[in-house]
Structure 1
């Protein structure tokens, strides 16, 4: 643990930091849990927390563009950063590449395709397939994440800044199932896309000089289908409230991320 006291933490990011589907809910409009990793970390360190995370955020909505969610608009997250923050955590960039959103879409498509009544909807949802970002797309996402770091340093000059990566979703044990209705080729495509998201963090850390808490390799044996998954699969009943948390960290996953950050500190 760091010798310098951490009295105030701020958290920026998308759903992988916000924690949709994990009770209790801290902010329903932001799809933000009161037991996400920023809350768990602040509790462990005895620090005050400013949690600015919003599910669906991109690097742009964190830095410059207001984020519209239903009837509410969130200002760019950095606008809420406290100047006296000692530590700022950042988890974002996956939405810039369409990572988890496409997994939810294709998961619902796979489930719909298994029934004659909903098969036409499944066919429509499957048309786009898994995103295939180019190297230029990865570079742009990394540049966006590096801008988040730069803007964080501008507003909270004395804060230690940590980039916190995404947990593995499709791991070596993930197979076609009700919770993960993907064929082998689609699973491989999502593994590739997960690697690209991890590369975004590596590149952003190199570009910005921020510290990196890399979670992909650390969580490799805890993907869907493993004995102890740190993420959720597609729920049995497809309701908007439950689907929002699909393919996201569960309580154990958030605890593992908080543990990794504490170990890093």
Structure 2
């Protein structure tokens, strides 16, 4: 009986010591735009504004993959991912994460319009983005996902969504309720298209809206920055909590 007990304890200790190395053999690459590079969090560096507080860097630090390629870059569109990031991707990558599509759909100009113009002008700009998402973005996403699969045929690819940026219940906020609802609806439409095309490509879609629920801009517990003057690129991007408690759990669950 004692030998069985010792064996059981030894086995448990062995599991305990080997568990943190579960991704030790993984070749992980993070592709995409500013929501993957970590804009909005501290310690952004280089022209791509990569941060070690991003969800990708946090996952790598926690799971110790054999290789971590941090290729995501602020401002990247689907064309940029295909032209610059995928060619640099290791063909032996077996785990890839990506956020992309927001810049294609005009995220930055839409936010600027909604900050500076009327409710109706904001709605019109959001509708313009929705039309792009419906008519042009599907082909862009399909081409990007196909290029990823061609370069890393054995990889598990996780496509993460974007959060709904605003809390629409707050009375006082930097945008009107109408503008906040319009922008959130545009993000919802974008996410639905990303989900559709990711699943058509055989990739895993990871939804982050649940993790960010109740933590939008103007909420009491924000996971996203509001309008930020210094540095300006942080505006309407996840803060450190957003990457740690919003994106990281979504990625970890999908992995």
* Alignment TM-score, normalising by the size of structure 1: 0.78
User: Which runs of 5 or more structure 1 residues have no equivalent in the other structure?
Assistant: 65-75, 110-121
Cα offset for 1:34? Answer: 2.0
Match of 1:206 among 182, 185, 199: 199
Q: Over aligned residue pairs, what C-alpha RMSD do you find? A: 2.5
C-alpha offsets along residues 114-158 of structure 1, whole Å, 9 cap, x if unaligned? xxxxxxxx79xx789633134563352233223222111111121
Partner residue, 1:262: 252
Q: Equivalents in 1 of 2:150, 2:82: separation in Å? A: 12
Partner residue, 2:227: 234
Partner residue, 2:15: none
Q: Equivalents in 2 of 1:89, 1:34: separation in Å? A: 16
Q: In the comparison of the two structures, how many residue pairs are matched? A: 231
Cα offset for 1:231? Answer: 0.7
- Residues 185-224 of structure 1: matches in 2 within 5 Å? 185-224=178-217
CA contact (8 A) 2:163 2:212 kept: yes
Does 1:143 pair with 2:143? no
User: Which runs of 5 or more structure 2 residues have no equivalent in the other structure?
Assistant: 1-18
Partner residue, 2:62: 44
Go from structure 1 to structure 2 and tell me whether the alpha carbon gap of 1:146 and 1:4 turns closer, same or farther (over 3 Å shift): farther
C-alpha offsets along residues 231-255 of structure 1, whole Å, 9 cap, x if unaligned? 11112xx34xx11111001111111
Q: Equivalents in 2 of 1:45, 1:4: separation in Å? A: 5
* Alignment TM-score, normalising by the size of structure 2: 0.81
Does 1:163 pair with 2:152? no
Cα offset for 1:21? Answer: 3.6
The structure whose residues are more often helix, as a share, is 2
Go from structure 1 to structure 2 and tell me whether the alpha carbon gap of 1:171 and 1:146 turns closer, same or farther (over 3 Å shift): farther
Partner residue, 1:22: 41
Go from structure 1 to structure 2 and tell me whether the alpha carbon gap of 1:77 and 1:36 turns closer, same or farther (over 3 Å shift): same
Go from structure 1 to structure 2 and tell me whether the alpha carbon gap of 1:31 and 1:147 turns closer, same or farther (over 3 Å shift): same
Partner residue, 1:33: 51
Go from structure 1 to structure 2 and tell me whether the alpha carbon gap of 1:217 and 1:93 turns closer, same or farther (over 3 Å shift): same
Cα offset for 1:175? Answer: 4.6
Q: Equivalents in 1 of 2:72, 2:96: separation in Å? A: 12
C-alpha offsets along residues 39-79 of structure 1, whole Å, 9 cap, x if unaligned? 01111111131111111111111113xxxxxxxxxxx2111
Cα offset for 1:160? Answer: 0.7
Q: Equivalents in 2 of 1:228, 1:200: separation in Å? A: 28
User: Residue 95 of structure 1: SS of its match in structure 2?
Assistant: coil
Q: Equivalents in 1 of 2:234, 2:132: separation in Å? A: 29
CA contact (8 A) 2:133 2:190 kept: no
